[in-house]
Amino acid sequence: MPEDTSTTTPATRWDGRRVGKATRRDAILNSVASVLSSGRLSTLTMQDIADELGITKGNLYYYFTDKQDILYQCHMRAMDASLEALRRARQAKGSPGERLQQLLAGHIVGILKDGLGSVLLTDLENLRPENRDVYVARRDEFERGVRKLIEEGMKAGEFHCDDSLLAGFSMLGSINWITKWFRADGRLGVNDVAVGMSRFLMGALYCPPDMIPAPVEPAPEAEDAPPSKVKAGVKTGRPAKTPTKAASRTPTKAATRTASRPKGGEAGRKAGKP
């Protein structure tokens, strides 16, 4: 299990006293997480980011060309951490399950420890095409690594899974969503979440076939559903009345003759009498 050694929280501001342009860029990226997680990325400006970090906009432009550049760097740093976790899992000894759980835990720590994982749910259309292509290629490399471990476990009989692609997307999608609800000052720390989520997700692969519920067909859409007959009492929520004993008796001959006679007046005209 990788250890979270980061001391940076989303509220940490950039320390301009650090030396070296690369170090200062890293410091800005570590601090920008609180801005990216504010939920207003589409309207965010460079001035907003500079104000949050406590620096001038001109100083921010010295390190990054624009907001797209900042987003791209955040994406790439988060992916660097995930690919490093994949590299360690490939080199590790143990069963496919042990190595996959190590990979998932390292992936979670990587996207949470600096708060940069919040960009994982942003639209990739916010990136320049050339930057997007680079990021997508590395993301696909990571996803293939996850699927390969799943497939190794399937072949070894360790995992009970029908589709490695579906399993991989389900796991990574759940992990990406952690950035929506995780709080650095919450009850669970980064390592707590990494251990708990990786064990929970692995449980789905270890579940034996006889414990898996039978497939259930999705309910039909409302417009495709056959029309249902409305019974008495359904509209108001009251149960339909059960016929009384007297009402359920066979009508007498006299009652039958009376009921078959057409009524006069308005009632008769409604019944079809000319």
Q: Are 114 and 4 in contact (CB under 8 A)?
A: no
What local confidence, expressed as pLDDT, does residue 34 receive?
64
Please report the pLDDT score of residue 41 as a whole number.
Answer: 63
Q: Give the pLDDT score at 106.
A: 95
Instruction: Tell me what pLDDT residue 2 has.
Output: 53
4 phi, psi to nearest 5 deg: -85, 105
Task: Using the structure block, give the residue that is written with the tokens 């250890």.
Answer: 3
pLDDT below 70 — which residues of the chain? Answer: 1-22, 33-42, 209, 222-274
For residue 17, the 8-state DSSP code is T
One DSSP character per residue, 75-93 reads: HHHHHHHHHHHHHHHHHS-
Q: Pick from 32, 40, 137: which is nearest to 79 by CA?
A: 137
The predicted structure's pLDDT at residue 274:
40
